[in-house]
Amino acid sequence: MAEGLKIEIVSPERLVLSEVVTSVTVPGSEGYFTVMDDHAPFMTTLRPGFITVNQNGQDAIFFVQGGFADVSPDGLTILAERSVPVAEFDHADLAAQIKAAEAELAAAATPEEKSYAQDVVSALLNLAIEAGQLHGSHIH
């Protein structure tokens, strides 16, 4: 293998990326983590967020809806529920998801439903903040 980390981002629709890179920062379910060549093997789930792929000082950013990350001696494989380059990220769709989640929160009848709905709203609002920081825009 060439010097560097082999990464593959795979979604059900397509192979999004297959490259040898310097490092990759990934939105794990417990927080962001960075993988470089010769990283210790592990597997984790992903939360919706943005993957930053660094190759020779240049960053490429991809949105990931969720899925799994598998770090092995062969590199990093991301099996995504959905993944697209950041240029294809749909801000209007995210705003619609936030509005729908807020409506579900307002309609929640039990404490468990309210708690779950609040978690969904919070996650979507955090994603909107991240997206706004990447694009210099705001979603309300």
CATH class of 5-87: mainly beta
134, pLDDT greater than 80: no
Strand (E) positions, the chain?
A: 5-10, 15-21, 23-28, 31-36, 42-46, 49-55, 58-64, 67-72, 75-80, 83-85
Residue boundaries of the structural domains of the chain:
5-87, 90-135
Q: What is the pTM of this model?
A: 0.81
| Angle at 12 (CA atoms; ends 10, 13), nearest 5 degrees | 95
Q: Comparing C-alpha atoms, which of 81, 69, 77 is closest to residue 45?
A: 69
What is the tens place of the pLDDT at every residue in 109-118?
999 999 999 9
